[in-house]
């Protein structure tokens, strides 16, 4: 199952309890068309973004259900935009650790992602560990090859983390133990910022 299919299921799961739905949102067209059923009150509480779309839309009603069609919005574009505004929908999903690298990078590199850098680090590390199930659960038993394997797994993710926006305590407690997966110069710069924060 690919990323978009998994995310589609997650969104449907979000709204699955809405038996008495009064909104259907349809995005894309042809074989890429996806639809989601929801209740306007649920949209108001859980998804302000979609609710605002509902209020600004003049689409038609069919048997007392408002149909909102957005054929010009590609599934991937819609999902990425939705995730950036509601990252919990995917980060809390059982499918999150099954994301492929390309999908993960497309999420964490967005400037409008509603997560702070500390949370992004936690997601990236969690995803990386899931891709390496043979790593010892206790890091004190890790060998250099273990760090190397994790470093290789995350080599395209780490450049998108803004380490200098992460609080010093978080760096000391949660990032320092993984310093071996970072480039030496990057770690030196991060550590230098902690030790001499007033230095530009």
Q: Mind listing the pLDDT tens digit for each residue in 168-191?
A: 999 999 999 999 999 999 999 999
User: Looking at residue 85, which CATH number applies to its domain?
Assistant: 3.30.710
- Rg for the chain, CA atoms, rounded: 21
**Are 80 and 41 members of one domain?**
yes
What is the C-alpha separation between 25 and 27, in angstroms, rounded? 7
Query: What's the rounded Cα separation, in Å, for the pair 38 and 82?
Result: 15
Domains in the chain, number: 2
Specify whether 56 is located in the same domain as 16. Answer: yes
Q: Is residue 99 part of a domain?
A: no
Query: 179 and 128 share a domain?
Result: yes
Q: Are residues 60 and 121 in the same domain?
A: no
What pTM, to 2 d.p., does this model score? 0.67
Contact (CB, 8 A) for 194 and 171 = yes
Structural domain contains residue 59: yes
Judged against a pLDDT cut of 70, whether residue 51 lies above it is answered with no
Instruction: Tell me the two tokens of residue 196.
Output: 């001499």
Q: Which pLDDT score is estimated for 185?
A: 96
Helix orientation angle between 101-108 and 75-85, rounded to the nearest 10 degrees:
50
Q: Which of 49, 73, 89 is the last residue of a domain?
A: 89
- E strands in the chain: 23-27, 34-38, 61-62, 65-70
- What is the pLDDT, as a whole number, of residue 24? 80
Structural domain boundaries, residue 148: 116-195
- Rounded Cα–Cα distance for residues 98 and 76 (Å): 17
Same domain, 121 and 76: no
Whether residue 8 sits in one domain with residue 83:
yes
Q: What percent of the chain has pLDDT over 90?
A: 38
* Domain shared by 131 and 71, yes or no: no
Q: Note whether 151 and 81 are same-domain residues.
A: no
Give the model's pLDDT for residue 176. Answer: 96
Give bridge partners of residue 62 from the DSSP assignment: 65
């Amino acid at each position: 199952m690919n990323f978009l299919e998994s995310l589609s299921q997650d969104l449907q799961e979000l709204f699955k309890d809405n038996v008495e739905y009064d909104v259907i949102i349809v995005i894309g067209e042809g074989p890429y068309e996806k639809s989601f059923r929801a209740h306007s009150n649920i949209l108001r509480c859980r998804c302000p973004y979609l609710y605002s779309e509902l209020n600004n839309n003049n689409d038609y009603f069919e048997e007392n259900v408002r149909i909102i069609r957005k054929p010009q919005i590609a599934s991937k574009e819609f999902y990425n935009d939705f995730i950036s505004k509601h990252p919990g929908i995917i980060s809390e999903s059982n499918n999150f650790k099954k994301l492929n690298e390309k999908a993960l990078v497309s999420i964490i590199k967005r400037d409008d992602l509603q997560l702070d850098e500390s949370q992004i680090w936690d997601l990236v590390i969690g995803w990386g560990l899931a891709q390496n199930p043979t790593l010892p659960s206790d890091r004190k038993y890790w060998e250099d090859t273990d760090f190397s394997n994790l470093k290789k797994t995350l080599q395209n993710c780490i450049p998108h983390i803004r380490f200098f926006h992460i609080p010093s305590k978080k760096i000391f407690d949660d990032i320092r133990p993984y310093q071996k997966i970072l480039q030496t110069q990057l770690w030196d710069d991060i550590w230098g910022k902690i030790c001499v924060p007033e230095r530009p």
